[in-house]
């Protein structure tokens, strides 16, 4: 093969390898909606430490600039004794959109102008796959399932990913009013998780 042709083949192969690495994902393939918010970040930690932190709702305030309070509830809205993601349980969250500036800790006050509350239904708790998901309730005018996933990249590196695709009659309004803030909040949570896990190593 002439040199230039060999170079072209080599470039094509390298690009394919690079894009395969860049596109590595543990998020499920979901249909597109009106818009989505997402984040992905590499963290120097163990997959067990990252999984434990994501499942530990009572400690979210220590690190999370987006979700400041998360509580697992029974269908009658009673606080469950076990505070971790449980499939089909209700989840009540108080969030900041856009997020608080990092770093945050348990005593960091909310910005009242950016405070929202939401009810969700916990739909997937998959320790084997390292995935969690919850669904916005009630799914009448807005349907949105938030996924979070971890992947072990080896060498003490973990990939954290999160994505929520928004569908329904309210989705366009939500995109226009809060789309940017939501995206910042997803990135804020990813950055907060990294800061917390890398600092507490």
Q: Rule CB under 6 A: which residues touch ligand NAG?
A: 30, 32-33, 36, 71, 73, 75, 77, 79, 88, 92, 104-105, 107-108, 121, 123, 165
Query: What is the crossing angle of helices 171-199 and 47-55, to 10°?
Result: 130
Rounded Cα distance, 33 and 166, in Å: 5
**At closest approach, how far in Å is the CB of 77 from ligand NAG?**
4
Residues β-bridged to residue 69: 94
**At closest approach, how far in Å is the CB of 35 from ligand NAG?**
6
Q: In angstroms, what CA-CA distances link 200 with 106, 114, 147, 179, 196?
A: 15, 28, 25, 32, 6
**At closest approach, how far in Å is the CB of 64 from ligand NAG?**
13
Judged by beta carbon, residue 114 or residue 123, the one nearer ligand NAG is 123
**At closest approach, how far in Å is the CB of 201 from ligand NAG?**
18
State the number of CA atoms in the 13 A half-sphere of 10 facing the CB: 7
Token reading at 90: 């209700």
The beta strand positions in 23-142, using DSSP E, are 35-44, 67-73, 90-96, 115-126, 131-137
Angle at 11 between CA 10 and CA 17, to 5 degrees: 90
**At closest approach, how far in Å is the CB of 115 from ligand NAG?**
12
Q: Which residue has the tokens 């348990």?
A: 106
**At closest approach, how far in Å is the CB of 181 from ligand NAG?**
16
């Amino acid at each position: 093969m002439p040199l230039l042709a060999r170079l072209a083949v080599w470039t094509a192969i390298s690009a394919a390898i690079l894009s395969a690495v860049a596109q590595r994902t543990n998020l499920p393939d979901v249909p597109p909606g009106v818009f989505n918010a997402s984040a992905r970040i590499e963290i120097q930690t163990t997959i067990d430490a990252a999984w434990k932190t994501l499942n530990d709702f009572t400690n979210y305030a220590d690190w999370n600039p987006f979700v400041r309070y998360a509580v697992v509830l029974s269908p009658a809205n009673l606080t469950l004794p076990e505070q971790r993601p449980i499939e089909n349980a209700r989840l009540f969250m108080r969030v900041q959109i856009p997020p608080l500036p990092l770093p945050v800790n348990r005593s960091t006050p909310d910005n009242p102008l950016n405070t929202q509350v939401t009810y969700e239904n916990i739909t997937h708790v998959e320790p084997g796959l390292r995935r969690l998901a919850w669904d916005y309730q009630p799914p009448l005018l807005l349907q949105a399932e938030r996924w979070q996933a971890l992947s072990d990249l080896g060498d003490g590196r973990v990939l954290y990913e999160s994505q929520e695709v928004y569908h329904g009659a309210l989705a366009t309004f939500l995109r226009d009013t809060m789309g940017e803030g939501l995206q910042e909040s997803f990135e804020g949570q990813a950055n907060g998780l990294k800061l917390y896990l890398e600092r507490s190593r």
